[in-house]
Amino acid sequence: MQIHDLPYPDPGVPDARSGPRFLWWLFRNQLDGQLKSLAWGLLHFASVASLPFCVGVAVQAAVDRSGGRLALAGGLMALACVGNAVGDTFLHRSAVTNWITAAARVQQLLGRKAAVLGSALTRRVAAGEVVAVSTGDVEKIGWFVEALSRFTAAAVTIVVVTVGLLVYQPALGVVVAVGLPVLALAVLPLLPRATRRADVQREKAGRATELASDTVAGLRVLRGIGGEDLFLDRYRRASQEVRHAAVRSARMWSLIAAVQVLLPGLLLITVVWHGVRLARDGRIDVGELVTVYSSVMLLTYPLRHFEEIAMAYSFSRPSARRAARVLSLERAMDTAGTRAAETPAGDLYDPRTGLCAPSGSLTAVVCGDPDAAGRLAERLGGHAAQEGTSVLLGGVPLDELPLDSARTAVLVQDKDPVLLSGTLRELLDVPASGSVDPGAALEAAQCQDVLAALVQGSLGAEDPMDARITERGRSLSGGQRQRLALARSLVTDPEVLVLDEPTSAVDSHTEARIAQGVRGLRSGRTTVVFTSSPLLLDRADRVVFLHEGTVVAVGGHRELVRTEPRYRAVVTRETEEETASSAALRAGNGGRHPDEVPDGLRELETLEEIEETA
């Protein structure tokens, strides 16, 4: 895989049982690239290691006054330099390719997992951790994966050179053969402590990232309650903890680097001291001493890769562990598409609650617990947070369909939809049936004032569709973001559209017009709206009331207000005492509240007045 071939057609199925297993899986899936990097690394390090032999031959030729051998040494040195240049160039290219492709594979895996889990991802893993894994962690994982082949090439070179020195000059080769393993293994006792400190640093950095992400996401609310200073102090303390942890980690890595410099120097001193004694006794030639000394000196270069691989593993291990934790998450209900791809049609039925939304109708669902309503909405779209019986669409279990087929059939808009930055045209450029024009969707969602605000806030944008939307729509009010998200959902025109509190942040008059617009635009399509707004409930074909996770009443809004006290309590926000008092008064007044007008509740009269005004 080359960089220009990215993204991967299929990034594969990762081994997410642990961080080390995930790293090994990445390495195995890049075997071709790793072998190329290893080959170029061997050429590079072998060329570097051969330079001392060339220098030794040249020195000995000068001592012996041999022009032929001096020319041979010059030719060998030129060949070694060419090999060094070519090997280093292509080693760098292959290493960077391995790094980028490994990081890209991890990012694709994370993107695929986020698409599969949907909104369940951020309920099971903090949003800040997902951000940390998909940005900084993928770079550290890629670093270790690409460094592994370079480390292998360096280790093979050290072994070969050591064996060559033992054969070339056994008296000095023994010293090198004993000293080099000591140099390579000397840092091992320091690695556990360095790794622990690196883990602490990464954990604190991850928490600081989560805090920053959550603070930015809730900045509007923080400003509203005056909590900026509180969260700023929290982030400042978290940032200082990261700094202290980073300093402690850097001290340990500085000690490891110092050991990597000190011990090779001591080995060089030992080789020179022992070599001079051997040369004085006439047991070795000057050229042989120069060759061995130069070899030991140049071997400190590949030895540095032992430090790098230790550092890369220490930093990538917690990153790989976090990535594996995210990638190991599975949907609560997933049969991996045991049915053939199809887009079923018909009634939407949830066996767990007994909720049924007839095909082609607008069904409103009232649930006293907003969290339970959100979970039910996600389950209707095949995003169940817990295992259980699958929701049926036209008698077909959604969880047995391929994921894209299920999501084509049922679209869920949760109560906090996200607007991505870009133009309005890009926002509405979503997979759709093509039957709903973006202009009609914007009109049904009552976005006229939103378009005007976008044009006013975008320089040089005369067409509202070219107006820019800031990240997450932060420049817009909550109601404006809700309406744009609703328009985007209407454009998709799915077989079943599930809306969770789509108008909770808009005023009553706008809400009444939205109810009318959605009903008209979704005519003939199945729409399920989770709401407790009388304006939306009165526009529904049928209203389903859930109590303690079970359907307890079905009917029209006005009928349920009169006949179901628990429903009336949820819709009119009555307290339990008010509900009991109202029931007692009704029982003593022939089933009618003393303050009621003959033709219905005052709430219904108010509803009619708002509708007439709208």
439-442: long-range contacts at Cβ-Cβ below 8 A with a sequence spacing of 24 or more? Answer: 440/490, 440/521, 441/487, 441/488, 441/490, 441/491, 441/521, 442/487
Structure tokens at 101: 């492709």
Other C-beta atoms closer than 10 Å to the C-beta of 5 total: 10
Which of 198-202, 351-355, 366-370, 509-513 is the least confident region? 198-202
* Residue range 216-261, pLDDT digits in tens: 666 655 566 666 677 778 888 888 988 998 899 888 888 888 887 8
pLDDT of residue 354: 92
Which of 178-182, 206-210, 525-529 has the least mean pLDDT? 206-210
User: Which of these ranges, 25-34, 48-57, 354-363, has the smallest mean pLDDT?
Assistant: 48-57
d(CA 358, CA 347): 5
The mean pLDDT value of the chain amounts to 82
Q: Name residue 66's amino acid.
A: S
C-alpha distances out from residue 89 to 43, 95, 97, 450, 476, Å: 11, 10, 12, 55, 51
Sort residue 533 into left (φ over 0), alpha (ψ -120 to 50) or beta.
beta
* H-type alpha helices, 2-66: 19-28, 31-63
Start-end of H helices in 328-422: 370-380, 403-409
pLDDT given for residue 169 in this prediction: 83
Contact 360, 527 (CB under 8 A): no
Taking the C-alpha atoms of residue 526 and residue 179, their distance in angstroms, rounded to an integer, is 77
Output the pLDDT for position 221: 59
More confident of the two residues 213 and 318: 318
In angstroms, the Cα distances linking 365 to 353, 546, 567 are: 12, 7, 11
Instruction: Give the angle 553-555-560 at the CA atoms, nearest 5°.
Output: 70
> How many other CB atoms are there within 10 angstroms of residue 67's CB atom?
10
**How crowded is the C-beta side of 202, counted as CA atoms within 13 Å?**
23
Per-residue confidence (pLDDT) for residue 106, from 0 to 100: 92
Nearest alpha carbon to residue 91 among 139, 142, 43: 43
- Alpha-helical (H) ranges within 281-348 are 286-327
154 near 303, Cβ under 8 Å?
Answer: yes
pTM of the predicted model as reported, rounded to 2 decimal places: 0.70
Beta bridge partners of 362: 527
Instruction: Give me Rg for the CA atoms of the chain.
Output: 35
